[in-house]
Amino acid sequence: MDLEEARRKVEELRREIEKHDYYYYVLDSPLITDEEYDALYRQLLELEKRFPELVTPDSPTQRVGGRPRDEFRKVVHEVPMLSMDDVFSIEELRNFVNRVYKILGREVDFTSELKIDGVAVALIYEDGRFVLGATRGDGRTGEDVTDNLRTIKSLPLRLREPVPGRLEVRGEVYMTKEDFAMLNKAREEEGEPLFANPRNAAAGSLRQLDPNITAKRRLRLFVYQVVDSQKYDISSQYQALAWLRQKGFPTQGNEKLCKNFDELVGYIDDWQDKRHALSYATDGVVVKVDDLRTYDILGTTAKSPRWQIAFKYPAEEKKTRLLDIEISVGRTGVLTPVAILEPVRLSGTLVQRASLHNEDEIKRLDIRIGDFVYVRKAGEIIPEVVRVDFSARTGHEMPFSMPKNCPVCGAEVVRLMGEVAHRCPNRSCPAQLKEAIRHFASRDAMDIRGLGEKIIEQLVDKKLVAGFADLYKLTKDDLMSLDRIGPKSAENLINAINNSKTRPLFRLIYALGIRYVGLRTAEILAENFKSMDRLMKASIEELSEIPGIGPQIASSIVAFFRDEENVSTIKELAKMGVNMTEEKKEQGHGPWEGWRIVFTGELERASRSEAEEIAKSLGAIPTNSVSRNITMVVVGSNPGSKLAKAQELGVKIVDEQTFWKLVEEAESKK
């Protein structure tokens, strides 16, 4: 290849990589897999090594990643958040280690840590209190996602051992495999696009403009770096992790101090299979020089430090035959095509079924019954078909198309404009009914213990249950007519069903399965309306006024309660004695009962969450958005747009000092 050919190829690769960077970092919607991206990147890197005169400052190899969106306030990183170079073989890792030895003129220890498949964040603490959190962005300028980060329960809002002055630490926001699977299952039931992996789910959740959505996503955090570590007499990475744990930060706890290259390789080999048993996805091992005092000597390139590297495990894919495609019908009537596979062992488990998501995905991959396909686990938990081995086709493979009628009840299938999902519109469809009852009885809903999938199957098939209210009409004899249900089991289940009648209102709202209404939204609705009757009469305008309830959710709620069948179900449940009102919480008897309070800016005497807890203890309801029904807005230093909104609406505004005076007065009346 001559220079001119190389120039054209380099430009082509740069454009391709820049496009994928945009979709991955900015839109959180990648078009290709990590492995395909790595191949493009390495191809460009090799060409630039061969033709160094083609390297320019704007090449993807010379920078970190995507730019922040305009919707978020921009944050400049005082110490750039660089990314890591990747290696894919033990030989490449050996070259990295030897390079470190050569620069330092001696052998050194390394700390090995598992590489979390998540989103890098910088966290700022002032005198032990969390005040700012930002994404990496392009490495030098990130996005302010402080409010969203506050929703992560594993993130300490106040350190267990306060650190004077300003402290910056860095870590990774991630989602567990179980939470990722639950999120995608819920999205699939709603006919919404699925996240490709936990990393995309975490990124999409963290960058929501509405923190209420982020709060529902169950994000987690691991912290792994102390910026300006010398300020705290920390001289090694291994010591830094112990220091972070001491201060109350969550760390992985799987790190190892490796004294030589063989110990590094041993750690990598040890975790290759063990990692599949972890609750979170990891795609490699991060190897860092342990002695932090050497980092200035080792230095950095434009995009990555020379003192660390990521060893990436190969993505495990297995080839198998697709025997058939079955259709499953979900709670909301969504028809999901499922691949039936010749059994294949993948990431430690035997895989025989894999979701194909929807008809568009089948067409995109050109999947046919009888094909040899490659299967892997998205986020190391959900089996998925990723590609077809077209070279193995014989011509006898059969194209697939979605059925025109529901395979369970025979109703004509519909596909609404703008949706990828095909749906069965018949709400009496046994498949939908089974899934709806499973959701109704689930732990977060009515929590009917002992009402499992097999019992629900029999109850519906034997026509003992045709709706939620029928559960409360079941007798001991009804249950004993089912397979493997004896007198004691029947009695226990009857008791569990009866006990569920007293569940709080928000659990019933969630149990009904209203589209877009998750558990947190159900809590907000119960707090605001106090009774099912009031909620059923609410208008779109009234609902939209409530913080955390947008127009889409409001429209869905109103549509649900306009449906006569749904109204009839609720009336039947009420007749059976199911609780329809929100019990006043203990805090509701306080002197501030009925008050709605918004906090904006930074408080001096306490963190915002602590102030909110104090307000709750006095009977108030803290909320995140300003509207006309807010009692008062408490303003700290550096207030945001909430102050201007309060002034515009004429809502009462008080400073922090006044707030604490009001607290003291209220406390004296308790």
Of 509, 543, 575, which residue is a domain's last?
Answer: 575
Residue 474 resides in a domain: yes
How far apart CA 429 and CA 422 sit, in angstroms, is 15
Q: Note whether 333 and 423 are within 8 A (CB).
A: yes
Residue 636 resides in a domain: yes
Cα 196 to the chain's mean position, in Å?
12
Of 391, 418, 445, which residue is a domain's last?
Answer: 418
How far apart CA 111 and CA 266 sit, in angstroms, is 13
Residues with active-site annotation = 115
54 with 113, same domain?
no
pTM listed for this prediction: 0.55
409 with 456, same domain?
no
* CATH classification of the domain holding 302: 3.30.470.30
* CATH classification of the domain holding 634: 3.40.50.10190
SS (H, E, C) 388-406: ECHHHCCCCCEECCCCCEC
Q: Is the model's pLDDT at 379 over the cut of 60?
A: no
**223-242 tens-digit pLDDT:** 999 999 999 999 999 999 99
406 among annotated binding-site residues: yes
Residue 425 resides in a domain: no
181 with 118, same domain?
yes
Provide the domain limits for residue 373.
Answer: 318-418
297 with 349, same domain?
no
How far apart CA 267 and CA 257 sit, in angstroms, is 10
Of residues 212 and 295, the one with the higher pLDDT is 295
35 among annotated binding-site residues: yes
Neighbours of 517 (CB within 10 A): 20
401 among annotated binding-site residues: no
Residues 17-33, mean pLDDT to the nearest whole number: 63
Of residues 503 and 53, the one with the higher pLDDT is 503
Residue 69 resides in a domain: no
How far apart CA 504 and CA 507 sit, in angstroms, is 6
424 among annotated binding-site residues: yes
258 among annotated binding-site residues: no
How does residue 34 score in pLDDT terms, banded at 50, 70 and 90?
low
* CATH classification of the domain holding 398: 2.40.50.140
Pull the structure tokens for residue 375. 């299967």
How far apart CA 568 and CA 16 sit, in angstroms, is 56
Q: Which amino acid is at 73?
A: R
How does residue 259 score in pLDDT terms, banded at 50, 70 and 90?
very high
Residue 660 resides in a domain: yes
Question: How many domains, in total, are found in the chain?
Answer: 5
The pLDDT value given to residue 583:
64
**497-508 tens-digit pLDDT:** 999 999 999 999
Q: In what order do the strands lie in the sheet with 632-635?
A: 621-623, 596-600, 632-635, 653-655
